[in-house]
């Protein structure tokens, strides 16, 4: 699959081998073009609907965009309000889907459910709905409700997969209100995991963690800081930049040419700071002798292939609940941990770096992560506050927006959310929590459409 940038294809860097002729065009094709995927060529859509669409009664209302603020793969998604409301994904992989906006509640005085969600075709299967955040009206006519939601799903153009964003209200025939300027987005965040029909592209390769960037060897190389005798199996250099175990060094080489009468090439067997283990030297070399650092297949594989593979398949988590859970009243600001979470719960899951266990995610690689959590409650018949949040290493719970349900009988299910970017260290432990204070226990909701879930995606170095 080729992107709008000429020559840019799926991030699938080659493995370099000993004896490869490493020319500059091959370097550009393998790394320079692929890097552009991550600096602007990843499929990203950001669109908005300015039509103030009338909500369907007790049903979803597909959102039709009028403006595509960003559509960098030039899909047929939005064009002056005349295009279809579905987004045909242009590149296979995991997509972060988001939606947010406001709705007016019309003239109803009932505590109905109002929110947004996603209708997706996954691997060519029939379209299925999944809710994001849902809030209750306040029981007053002519009110306003605002919510947001997110989902992480694996989609592919080979099976004509699509995304449709929707608004929803449980209000019966009305006037049922309108959707006001919702914002929708889809962002490719990683290569596919497995199992896409008719797909011939690469699947993700876990690189955990990628090697620290060594940088290119300095200028023409470095020098010895002490003499090395014939037969020695180590040398001490002024700068070890660019050296990789298994690669080679040129002793008494400068700018690719011998600089003394006894030049030699030796293999690197170990690196300990500035002390470099080598094969037994054939000749002696004086202090200050030139040391050339050739660009090796080991260097390219570590510094290019592995880094691109990591960027193309960063740590990602999507877990959903597998059963209903009872949330006791009270406990703020501590709340109750959400359990029964699994990669097989409530939709397609992913945990590509194997960090999830026992309802907790242990961060596998440090950095900035996108974190989204939602807790879907069954409803309450008393005034109550409710929220979703997370803990990090068992510390104080960080909460999303605290919402309130009104004191009206038969309040419908509602869903609270948590969303932000957070810097983590490797080994930090993240758990999803819920809170409600209705005065009695409240069940969560568990179905493929209405569910609690936790999503985390590595975004960059912290």
Q: How many residues does the chain have?
A: 462
Handedness of CA 248, 250, 255, 256 (dihedral sign): negative
pLDDT for the residue 2: 61
Spatial separation of the C-alpha atoms in residues 166 and 117, rounded to whole Å = 5
Spatial separation of the C-alpha atoms in residues 33 and 26, rounded to whole Å = 10
Q: Which two tokens stand for residue 428?
A: 């930090």
Q: Is the pLDDT of residue 303 over 80?
A: no
Helices (H) and strands (E) in the chain, counts: 4, 33
What's the pLDDT band for 428 if we cut at 50, 70, 90?
A: very high
What's the pLDDT band for 3 if we cut at 50, 70, 90?
A: low
The helix/strand/coil state of 37 is helix
Q: Is the pLDDT of residue 29 over 90?
A: no
Task: Single out the residue of 19, 33, 26 nearest to residue 297, CA to CA.
Answer: 19
Of the ranges 35-44, 282-291, 432-441, which one carries the lowest mean pLDDT score? Answer: 35-44
What mean pLDDT do residues 337-353 have? 93
Which phi and psi angles does 123 have, rounded to 5°? 55, 35
pLDDT for the residue 213: 64
| Highest mean predicted confidence (pLDDT) among 286-295, 296-305, 389-398 | 389-398
Spatial separation of the C-alpha atoms in residues 165 and 72, rounded to whole Å = 19
Q: Is the pLDDT of residue 78 over 60?
A: no
User: Parallel, antiparallel, or unpaired for β 316-321 and 453-460?
Assistant: antiparallel
Q: Is the pLDDT of residue 355 over 90?
A: yes
Fold for 314-462, please state it: Jelly Rolls (2.60.120)
pLDDT for the residue 405: 76
pLDDT for the residue 6: 63
Q: Is the pLDDT of residue 380 over 80?
A: no
- Calculated CA dihedral for residues 17, 20, 22, 23, nearest 10 degrees: -140
Run of H or E residues at 34: helix 33-35
pLDDT for the residue 140: 66
The tens digit of pLDDT for each residue in 135-189 reads 887 666 667 888 999 999 999 999 999 999 999 888 776 556 788 888 999 999 9
Q: Is the pLDDT of residue 417 over 90?
A: yes
Of residues 120 and 69, more confidence is placed in 120
Q: What is the mean pLDDT of the chain?
A: 86
What's the pLDDT band for 104 if we cut at 50, 70, 90?
A: confident
Largest alpha-carbon pair distance within the chain? 95
pLDDT for the residue 143: 74
pTM (2 d.p.): 0.87
Per-residue DSSP letter, 217: P
Of residues 171 and 339, more confidence is placed in 339
Of residues 145 and 99, more confidence is placed in 99
Contact 373, 132 (CB under 8 A): no
The tens digit of pLDDT for each residue in 251-279 reads 999 988 899 999 999 999 999 999 999 99
Q: Is the pLDDT of residue 1 over 60?
A: no
The tens digit of pLDDT for each residue in 229-258 reads 999 999 999 999 888 898 899 999 998 889
| The residue to which tokens 């593979």 are assigned | 309
Tell me the Cα Rg of the chain.
28
Contact 419, 456 (CB under 8 A): no
What mean pLDDT do residues 105-110 have? 63
Fold agreement (42-191, 314-462): yes
For 42-191, CATH number out of 3.30.1330.10, 3.40.50.300, 2.60.120.40, 1.25.40.10 equals 2.60.120.40
The tens digit of pLDDT for each residue in 392-403 reads 999 999 999 888
Spatial separation of the C-alpha atoms in residues 377 and 102, rounded to whole Å = 20
Handedness of CA 92, 68, 400, 322 (dihedral sign): negative
Q: Is the pLDDT of residue 425 over 60?
A: yes
pLDDT for the residue 79: 44
pLDDT for the residue 214: 66
Spatial separation of the C-alpha atoms in residues 296 and 64, rounded to whole Å = 52
Alpha-helix runs per DSSP H in 39-166: none
List the chain domain ranges.
42-191, 222-294, 314-462
Which phi and psi angles does 231 have, rounded to 5°? 90, -15
Task: Single out the residue of 41, 39, 61, 44 nearest to residue 52, CA to CA.
Answer: 61
């Amino acid at each position: 699959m080729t992107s709008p940038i000429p020559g840019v294809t799926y991030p699938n860097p080659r493995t370099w081998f000993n004896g490869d002729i490493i020319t500059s065009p091959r370097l550009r094709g393998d790394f320079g073009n692929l890097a552009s995927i991550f600096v602007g060529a990843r499929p990203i859509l950001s669109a908005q609907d300015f039509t103030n669409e009338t909500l369907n009664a007790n049903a979803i209302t597909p959102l039709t965009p009028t403006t595509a603020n960003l559509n960098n793969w030039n899909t047929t998604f939005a064009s002056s309000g005349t295009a279809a409301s579905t987004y045909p994904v242009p590149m296979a992989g995991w997509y972060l889907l988001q939606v947010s906006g406001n709705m007016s509640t019309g003239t109803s005085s009932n505590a109905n459910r109002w929110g947004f969600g996603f209708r997706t075709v996954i691997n060519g299967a029939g379209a299925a709905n999944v809710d994001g955040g849902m809030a209750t009206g306040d029981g007053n006519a002519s009110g306003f409700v605002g919510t947001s939601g997110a989902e992480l799903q694996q989609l592919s153009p080979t099976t004509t997969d699509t995304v449709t964003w929707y608004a929803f209200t449980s209000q019966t025939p009305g006037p049922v209100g309108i959707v006001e300027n919702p914002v929708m987005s889809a962002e490719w965040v990683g290569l596919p995991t497995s199992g896409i029909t008719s797909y011939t592209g690469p699947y993700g390769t876990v690189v955990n963690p990628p090697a620290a960037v060594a940088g290119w060897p300095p200028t023409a190389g470095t020098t010895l800081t002490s003499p090395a005798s014939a037969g020695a199996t180590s040398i001490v250099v002024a700068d070890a930049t660019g050296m990789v175990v298994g690669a080679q060094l040129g002793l008494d080489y400068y700018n690719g040419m011998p600089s003394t009468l006894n030049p030699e090439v030796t293999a690197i067997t170990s690196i300990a700071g500035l002390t470099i283990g080598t094969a037994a030297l054939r000749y002696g070399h004086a202090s200050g002798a030139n040391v050339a650092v050739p660009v090796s297949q080991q260097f390219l594989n570590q510094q290019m292939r592995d880094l691109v593979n990591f960027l193309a398949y960063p740590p990602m988590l999507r877990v959903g609940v597998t059963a209903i859970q009872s949330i006791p009243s009270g406990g703020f600001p501590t709340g109750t941990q959400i359990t029964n979470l699994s990669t097989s719960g409530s939709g397609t899951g992913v945990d590509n770096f194997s960090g999830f266990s026992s309802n907790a995610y242990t961060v596998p690689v440090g950095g900035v992560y996108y974190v989204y959590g939602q807790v879907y409650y069954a409803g309450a018949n008393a005034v109550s506050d409710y929220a979703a949040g997370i803990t990090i290493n068992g510390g104080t719970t960080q909460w999303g927006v605290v919402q309130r349900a009104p004191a009206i009988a038969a309040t419908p299910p509602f869903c609270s959310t948590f969303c932000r970017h957070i810097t983590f260290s490797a080994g930090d432990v993240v758990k999803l929590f819920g809170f409600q204070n209705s005065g009695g226990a409240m069940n969560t909701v568990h179905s493929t459409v209405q569910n609690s879930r936790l999503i985390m995606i590595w975004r960059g170095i912290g």
